[in-house]
Amino acid sequence: MRTAQRIEILKTMDTRHTEHQDRSDSALQQRVDERTAELSQALAVVEAQKRELEHALRMRDEIQLQLEAELEDARLLHGISAMLVDEHNVGELFQKLVDAATLIMRSDFGSIQRYDEARGELQLIATRGLSDEAVSYWQWVHPGRATTCGHALLKSQRVVVPDFESWNDISGSDDLIAFRAAGVRAAQSTPLLTRSGRLVGMITTHWTRSHEPQERDLRLIDIVARQAADLIERNSAAEALQHHARKLVEADRYKDEFLATLAHELRNPLAPIRNGLAVLKIGKPEQAQRVLPMMERQLHHMVHLIDDLLDVSRISRGMVNLKRARVQLSAVIDSAVETSRPLISAANHRFTITLPGTAVWLNADMTRVAQIISNLLNNAAKYTPPGGDIELVAEVIGGEVVVRVIDSGIGIPAAMLPRIFELFTQVDGSAERSKGGLGVGLALAKRLAEMHDGSVDVESPGDKAGAVFTLRLPIMASTTNVADDDGSDGAPAKARALRILIVDDNEDAAETLSLLLQELGHVTSVVTEAPKAMAAALAFQPEIAVLDLGMPHLNGFDLARQLRAEPALRNTYLIALSGWGMEEDRARSRDAGMDHHLTKPVTLRDVEDALLKSIVAMGGGISKRS
Ligand code: ADP
């Protein structure tokens, strides 16, 4: 082979080798690249896993920290609950609540307030760290006051103020000055709401620097607030129960005292009446002149006591209906003074009356308003040592008439003033010192005044300094002088002689009524057994029959029906005589055919009035008594 040829072959071989070499190099490179890619992918995965792992580790640490914090909080709350539940002293309980709040909120000061429903304000009841000045300055906080609690009370939700200096609602207020003086810069107030949503108080925490409480702090204070609300609610329920129990014991004591006083006061008039009777029986006739007025007085006193008692009982049961009419104030006062003057004069008191210059008209039950005023006058006379001063001053103020009964007497201790109008309350209730009363008069006066849309109040500077009782009543719009509707001048009229049948199983009652009527010039017939009444009536032909209601064998209602059914007695005027005078009793006697209802014990005036009505009903004439 020629050299050139060989060279050519060698070149070709070399080229082929190079080509082969090249091919194998690029395959290698490719493999390297592939491997590199694989490796970097693996590395990325590892990196990602590492990051995940690191994240998980961080999360674990955070969760652990959080768990530790929550465990710590739970321990704290548990400790607080245990501390609160163990505490039964209310004052200490509130103090511990404040301590717990300041601990949880990491605050410098704290306070707890009780919500006073009657005043609608918050009252400070326990504090921590606040100065005495601050405590007295914020003793009461009304809704909307420039404090966090005032605003929280208004909104009934939490109020947080991180810096008082930049809180618009407080700028320029005295509260801001007080906060500065107390060293308070930030505060939060959380309302204490019961499960039913009732506000019972407020927990406030304060910081000396600007401060924004964290979410965790607020979560915890909410838990404490809920507990505090429950405890306050439970405590006030327990307090109310205790208060009730005390009231019951007190009421029981009052009842015993009252019964003793009642027995004493009812016995008192009985002794002179009994003595008077003995004098009438065995004494000289002229002595009757002296003992009768005395017996009458004592009887009147006794009837008055019993009437008062019955009145309060009826009023309490809503059984008293006012007989309102247009009445002149001066007439009411005259009537009251007429009743009370004997007592005032007997004690030698100086007594003055000042009335408004113009006529004043009331839409009132004359008897009842006179009863209020005479109760006040009687008390002034009783509780003022002899020779004292009593004044009655009536004036019109706005749409009201204000009647003041002013005395220079023994006065009323301040502690008794709020209770004086309660039933059976006497400043000195001992039977020996009760001045012939039962502690009923003022309760009665107050209730009667309220029934007239008025009021009675008392003021007294205290021991031996006298007392002022003030009655207020609305006046009628027109106060011009108009004559009374019935045109009567109030003087009792005298009836003509009448034939009167009295039916009562109580012989004494029947006999005395008969004597009284005979004294008035009438002709009477007495029947004490109801079944015999019909025959007696037919024989006697009475113009009037007075029938007791509660009688054995035949009661007054049935007897009335029988008499009414008898044509010969059709025009007889029937008067019921009963111990029961409520509206339902009157209605029953009306249903039975009675024309009039008298409540025992009847007075001469009652009888005269009833007879007059009967004459009017029968179309007879009336003559005024001079
Ligand atoms: P009573 O006079 O029958 O005891 P009241 O209800 O009228 O009952 O009065 C209650 C109590 O109030 C009296 O027992 C008395 O202690 C006191 N009181 C009433 N009026 C006066 C007064 N003008 N001055 C001082 N105390 C009074």
Q: What residues does each domain of the chain span? A: 1-86, 88-320, 327-474, 499-618
The predicted pLDDT at position 490 comes to 40
Cβ burial of 447 (10 Å; 0-12, 13-18, 19+) is: buried
Ligand 1 neighbourhood includes 377 CB (under 6 angstroms): no
The predicted pLDDT at position 619 comes to 64
Backbone φ and ψ of 325, nearest 5°: -150, 170
Ligand 1 neighbourhood includes 390 CB (under 6 angstroms): no
How far is Cα 425 from Cα 421, in angstroms, rounded to an integer? 7
Q: How far is the CA of 392 from the centre of ligand 1 (A)?
A: 17
DSSP E strand stretches across 88-212: 109-116, 121-128, 140-141, 159-161, 186-193, 199-207
3 state SS of 147: coil
183-207 pLDDT per residue, tens: 999 999 999 999 889 999 999 999 9
Q: How far is the CA of 369 from the centre of ligand 1 (A)?
A: 18
The predicted pLDDT at position 236 comes to 81
In contact, 411 and 465? CB cutoff 8 Å: yes
The predicted pLDDT at position 602 comes to 78
How far is Cα 12 from Cα 618, in angstroms, rounded to an integer? 168
Ligand 1 neighbourhood includes 467 CB (under 6 angstroms): yes
Query: Ligand 1: which atom is nearest the Cα of residue 384?
Result: 24
571-609 pLDDT per residue, tens: 899 999 887 777 788 889 999 999 999 887 777 778 888
How far is Cα 618 from Cα 612, in angstroms, rounded to an integer? 10
In contact, 233 and 194? CB cutoff 8 Å: yes
How far apart, in Å, are the Cα atoms of 485 and each of 168, 325, 328, 360? 67, 9, 12, 16
How far apart, in Å, are the Cα atoms of 593 and each of 231, 557, 565, 587, 596? 64, 8, 10, 10, 9
68's tokens: 């530790």
The predicted pLDDT at position 463 comes to 83
Ligand 1 neighbourhood includes 439 CB (under 6 angstroms): yes
In contact, 73 and 215? CB cutoff 8 Å: no
The predicted pLDDT at position 476 comes to 86
Spell 462-487 as b/e; 16+ CB within 10 A means b: eeeebbbbbbbbebeeebeeeeeeee
* 88-320 matches 327-474 in fold: no
Closest C-alpha among 493, 445, 481 to residue 327: 481
Q: How far is the CA of 225 from the centre of ligand 1 (A)?
A: 48
226-282 pLDDT per residue, tens: 888 988 888 888 888 999 999 999 888 878 877 877 887 787 788 788 888 988 888
The predicted pLDDT at position 429 comes to 62
Fold classification of 88-320 (topology level) = Beta-Lactamase (3.30.450)
Ligand 1 atom 18: residue of nearest CA:
379
How far is Cα 15 from Cα 460, in angstroms, rounded to an integer? 138
Ligand 1 neighbourhood includes 420 CB (under 6 angstroms): yes
Angle at 52 between CA 46 and CA 53, to 5 degrees: 85
Query: Ligand 1: which atom is nearest the Cα of residue 411?
Result: 25
Q: DSSP string of 453-492?
A: T-EEEEE--STTS-EEEEEEEEPPS--S----TT---SPP
Query: Ligand 1: which atom is nearest the Cα of residue 379?
Result: 20
In contact, 495 and 520? CB cutoff 8 Å: yes
Ranges of the chain with pLDDT below 70 = 1, 87-88, 429-436, 477-496, 619-626
Ligand 1 neighbourhood includes 417 CB (under 6 angstroms): no
Query: Ligand 1: which atom is nearest the Cα of residue 410?
Result: 25
Ligand 1 neighbourhood includes 441 CB (under 6 angstroms): yes
Ligand 1 neighbourhood includes 501 CB (under 6 angstroms): no
Mutate to test the pocket of ligand 1, among 265, 420, 446 (most ligand atoms within 8 A of CB): 420
Other CB atoms within a 10 A radius of the CB of residue 416 amount to 17
The predicted pLDDT at position 430 comes to 59
Backbone φ and ψ of 206, nearest 5°: -125, 150
Spell 93-115 as b/e; 16+ CB within 10 A means b: bbbbbbbbbbbbbebbbbbbbbb
How far is Cα 318 from Cα 525, in angstroms, rounded to an integer? 38
In contact, 224 and 80? CB cutoff 8 Å: yes
In contact, 479 and 361? CB cutoff 8 Å: yes
Ligand 1 atom 8: residue of nearest CA:
439
In contact, 548 and 592? CB cutoff 8 Å: no
Ligand 1 neighbourhood includes 152 CB (under 6 angstroms): no
The CATH number given to 327-474 is: 3.30.565.10
Mutate to test the pocket of ligand 1, among 427, 433, 447, 469 (most ligand atoms within 8 A of CB): 427
The predicted pLDDT at position 164 comes to 95
Ligand 1 neighbourhood includes 380 CB (under 6 angstroms): yes
In contact, 388 and 350? CB cutoff 8 Å: yes
Ligand 1 neighbourhood includes 412 CB (under 6 angstroms): yes
Ligand 1 neighbourhood includes 110 CB (under 6 angstroms): no
pTM of the model as a whole: 0.49
Ligand 1 atom 25: residue of nearest CA:
411
Dihedral angle over CA of 374, 378, 384, 386, nearest 10: 110
In contact, 224 and 191? CB cutoff 8 Å: no
The predicted pLDDT at position 571 comes to 87
Residues paired with residue 378 on neighbouring β-strands, in sequence order: none
DSSP code, position 321: P
Fold classification of 499-618 (topology level) = Rossmann fold (3.40.50)
566's tokens: 């008898």
